[in-house]
Structure 1
């Protein structure tokens, strides 16, 4: 049964009123009793707690709970002492050999997880005497924002999977290009910016690479850039990490590039970039940005334009 002395009861009240920030469980072997962490992502998980007839088990929470919203299966077979942060329960002898019960506790604030359930497993002789509950609370707005972002990412992934499946069902090589509609009888529209007309593009003085030739291409729903780049650094290779195109209204379009390997010192190599976007978003003048992983050495050129689609079969 529970200790009923005034000193013990006062200690329970003091512990119940103690504020605590969200913590993590200590390494195994260092915790005094059982330790359970609650996260918003695992709100549907139900941890198991071992109890035994005649032995009290105390749950100690780091967040206030609502005693009026607590539910306990087979409540008539338990001695129960609910508090703001301490909940102690003791199964009677009638629970010996009984099936597991579930206790559910809800928290007093509006954060998530809003409630937590524990599966009570009856052991004939050994019960866990103390269970620490550390709750990693998050606001509802934060969780909803993350769910929206996840749904958007899943939608994009599904669209990409459908595109890959559609491409897989088409023939490869030149026949595949014609079948996909990327190439028509007139070929892929392109325009080349050679050293003789470098006034077409703008370059930053801080550029780590030298552009020798810039060629742009267009196909339905996508654009591409072929760059002959030289690395004048005599001591260090340049490793591409990311690339974007910035449109005339500040729109940022992520670009994929190939090959993603170091450009050695003094070497000249062609790098290809591609952007998939509706044709309306790829009209006008763009700025191309390439950078390394640390963002210190960049390559930026402006006034990049793309040819118009040829009117005709397949385009």
Structure 2
């Protein structure tokens, strides 16, 4: 016997007259989360992460009885039911709540008849789309996924080349200048008149933003209240005016101790970002519900390349 490469296997699959197997795309190639539901998996419960104020859409490949679905704490959700799409948006009252369950049954008589999801509340990040496959996908779907895999491979190759190029540069000011991140005008920074959203876990004292080609940096000076538990940042993101999200890396890992001033840096890759803001900055802690949300976070424009 000889082994087929993934590409060769897909080509053979495309050459057939029909698609008989039900599978999700390979990891990283699906838009959002993908779940396969088989007849012998009737009692399986899939965990889905939701977040207050962020809609999560469930997409089914066959009709469902959306008007008969069972949703715990339904009064705390905005629900948009449909034949193949169900969108849930948790309210702020769900923040810090225990997981809820969602059960949806299909309109036909095929097995399995229903599917159950365990909805876990996260203070800042929710899954935006969950696709559920219950029947074999059509040939057009396989062809589209094959095309998408080629595009994803091309993107990954470009990312590897970029990382290798960065490794070949020296550290320090020489590396910054040679990479194009700093020029004769330097890296502009400015102090921000931020807006603190309600229920902030820590008290921000000062926010400074900096910008260079392809990068944005936020410095946040935080004070943890006296008597509060230590606070350690797990992640951060910037949300633009059109809903675009930019994930950020956080340094240092912490923690912010009670009563102490703690300086946190959030760096975001911003290739192709054509605006200086305003953004909403969200910070959340490790294994806890305490979140910090800052509005009106703006960045200075680049002197040599305005508008970036």
If the length of structure 2 is used for normalisation, what is the TM-score? 0.51
Q: C-alpha distance in 2, partners of 1:166/1:289?
A: 31
**Cα distance per residue 1:14-67 (max 9 Å; x no partner):** xxxxxxxxxxxxxxxxxxxxxxxxxxx9x97xxxxxxxxxxxxxxxxxxxxxxx
Q: 1:251 aligns with which of 244, 247, 250?
A: 244
Q: How much does 1:303 deviate?
A: 0.5
Q: What is residue 235 of structure 2 aligned with on the other side?
A: 242
TM-superposed CA distance for 1:218, in Å, is 0.7
The structure 1 residue matched to 2:213, chosen from 188, 209, 220, is: 220
Name the counterpart of 1:28.
none
- Residue 174 of structure 2 aligns with which residue? 175
2:20 to 111, 114, 129: 111
TM-aligned CA deviation for residue 277 of structure 1: 2.0
Per the TM alignment, residue 278 of structure 1 is displaced from its structure 2 partner at its CA by 3.0
Aligned partners of 2:211 and 2:300 also within 8 Å: yes
Q: Show the counterpart of 2:165.
A: 166
* 2:189 aligned residue: 190
* Counterpart for residue 269 of structure 1: 262
Q: CA deviation at 1:188?
A: 0.3
Cα offset, 1:266, TM superposition: 2.2
Aligned equivalents of 1:180 and 1:160: distance in 2?
Answer: 15
Q: State whether residues 229 and 258 of structure 2, in contact with CA within 8 Å, keep that contact through their aligned partners in structure 1.
A: yes
Gaps of 5+ in 1: 1-40, 45-108, 115-133, 194-199
User: Please, which runs of 5 or more residues in structure 2 have no aligned partner?
Assistant: 1-5, 10-17, 24-39, 42-132
Provide the residue aligned with 1:139 in structure 2: 136
Deviations 1:262-312 (A, max 9, x none): 222222221111111235444321110011245621000000110010228
Is 1:231 the counterpart of 2:224? The answer is: yes
Computing the radius of gyration over CA atoms, which structure comes out larger, 1 or 2? Answer: 1
SS at match of 2:166: helix
Mapped partners of 2:286, 2:194: distance in 1 = 25
Q: CA deviation at 1:179?
A: 0.7
Please say if residues 194 and 207 of structure 2, whose CA atoms lie closer than 8 Å, have aligned partners that are also in contact.
no
- TM superposition shift of 1:113: 6.2
Return closer, same or farther for 1:302/1:149 CA change in 2, 3 Å cut-off.
farther
Cα deviation 1:113-170 (Å, max 9, x = unaligned): 69xxxxxxxxxxxxxxxxxxx9998633687777677656544433332221111111
Distance 1:139 1:168, change over 3 A: same
Aligned residue-pair number: 185
- Structure 1 partner of 2:83: none
- Is the Cα–Cα contact under 8 Å of residues 112 and 137 in structure 1 kept in the other structure? no
